[in-house]
Structure 1
Amino acid sequence: MAADRTLVLMARRPILGQGKRRLAADVGDCAAHRFQRVALGRLSQRLGADPRWRLCLAITPDEPVRCLGADFVVGQGEGDLGQRMTRLSQRLAPGPLVIIGSDTPEVVAGDIERAFEALKAGDAVIGPALDGGYWLIGFSQDQRAHLPFTGVRWSTPHARADTLNNLAGKRVMMLRELEDIDDGASYRRWRQRVAGRLGK
């Protein structure tokens, strides 16, 4: 089954003082860097251990990096998010494709399995984020030839609506809503959720 299922984990190379600038402005460089490393490490190990798909780590900047759990590592290349996801889709093996970022540490293997299952009947699948974007997007093999990224206003509350507008008439499945950790407020909410689970 994994032979025709590819999961892409998009991430910025975790370098102190370079990544997660919005988060760092609120919580400091060290806390932002620690979050970035922990989130990427846990996601890659949690999702890379699953035999139901191949995990591709797509990293930026395009420099070699070791990552436990990933089956292979590629560079994202230049351009906006839509251009980079389009390039990845063109480069990777055929079959259903699911893409996530590294800013949503609460993603679990069950979310990914539901996404691939949705693509058996649907053209696309989206995991909505609280900020109006999405933490996951996936496409059937046929839909990979018609990616919905033209005119999307990235990093705004309109990103999901723009993408859905480009998918008008297609069968789009929706997953559960999660929160990207992009600023101090979302970081504090995430830490409270983690503490709540640990306290149970």
Structure 2
Amino acid sequence: MSPSTPPTLLLVAKAPVPGLVKTRLAADVGDEVAATVAAAALLDTIDACTLAVGPDRCRLAFSGDLVAAFRADEIDTAATSWTLTPQRGNGLGERLANAHSEVAGPVVQIGMDTPQVTPAGLLAVARGLETADAVLAPAEDGGWWALALRDPSAARVLRDVPMSTPETYAATRSALQALGLRVTAGDRLRDVDHLADVAPVAATAPNTRFAAIATEIATRTADQVAAPFTVRTARTYR
């Protein structure tokens, strides 16, 4: 990647609709609180992408109904001038591959599970393409949180990679290398799948919307944790 070629940031995410998002977290906190957490994470991630490259180079490939999502108006405002497209495909690997197929390279693709990501962190992943064909940034649970590609067509290998397993990172890296690509690793981050992930991730990004929601969850008793709550203020991103 030439320094004069800024990347496209591709955010692949679910609309934060109760019952359809963060289902593993919802098992601990309930559907509505899980959707509130997801909405905050999505908004913080949108902000990071916009600050990194500007909204004109950002794309949101979404599943679900954004109109019915928690904090729908805020999401609409935050993604102003973004390109929004529905996801296509049956499994996650197929949806990721299809989302990449609609983008010209270089591309950095992320999800909505790492609200602690910063603009600098995203640009660091992109800079890896100056010396490699692909950058794969691992998550602590064995998956990955970011994939940068010089040529987005290489994402076709994701169709056959088992997703959401402890071996997803290793399998993805092997599949990319099987194409003859030079693959380097990005920084490791913890993603948010379970209640135990919320506080540690929030601690690394204290001035985010996500951290505000995490603080409210932490102040609740076991009997209160699944009760819905109203977001009173929108935090300013970092």
State TM-score, norm by structure 1: 0.86
Secondary structure in 2 aligned to 1:17? coil
Residue 159 of structure 1 aligns to which amino acid in structure 2?
Answer: T
Q: Distance in 2 between matches of 1:191 and 1:14?
A: 18
Instruction: State the number of aligned residues.
Output: 196
How much identity, in percent, do the aligned residues show?
Answer: 31
- After superposition, give the CA deviation of every residue in 1:123-145 in whole Å (9 maximum; x if it has no partner): 1101100010000011112x624
Please identify which structure carries the higher helix content: 2
145-154 or 169-178: bigger deviation: 145-154
Q: Are 1:54 and 2:57 matched, yes or no?
A: yes
Q: Distance in 1 between matches of 2:77 and 2:184?
A: 30
* Alignment correspondent of 1:40: 42
Residue 124 of structure 1 aligns to which amino acid in structure 2?
Answer: A
Secondary structure in 1 aligned to 2:130? coil
* Alignment correspondent of 1:81: 92
Residue 158 of structure 1 aligns to which amino acid in structure 2?
Answer: E
CA RMSD of aligned residues (A): 2.7
* Alignment correspondent of 1:139: 149
* Alignment correspondent of 1:178: 189
Q: Distance in 1 between matches of 2:91 and 2:25?
A: 20
Secondary structure in 1 aligned to 2:108? strand
Q: Are 1:156 and 2:165 matched, yes or no?
A: yes
* Alignment correspondent of 1:16: 18
Distance 1:97 1:185, change over 3 A: same
Question: Which one has a bigger Cα radius of gyration?
Answer: 2
Q: Are 1:125 and 2:128 matched, yes or no?
A: no
Q: Distance in 2 between matches of 1:51 and 1:128?
A: 22
Q: Distance in 1 between matches of 2:119 and 2:207?
A: 21
* Alignment correspondent of 2:106: 96
Q: Distance in 2 between matches of 1:100 and 1:76?
A: 14
5-14 or 184-193: bigger deviation: 184-193
Distance 1:49 1:2, change over 3 A: farther
Cα deviation for residue 74 of structure 1 reads: 0.7
State TM-score, norm by structure 2: 0.73
* Alignment correspondent of 2:219: none
Partners of 1:62 and 1:74 within 8 A in 2: no
**Unaligned stretches of 5+ residues in structure 1:** none
Q: Distance in 2 between matches of 1:191 and 1:4?
A: 29
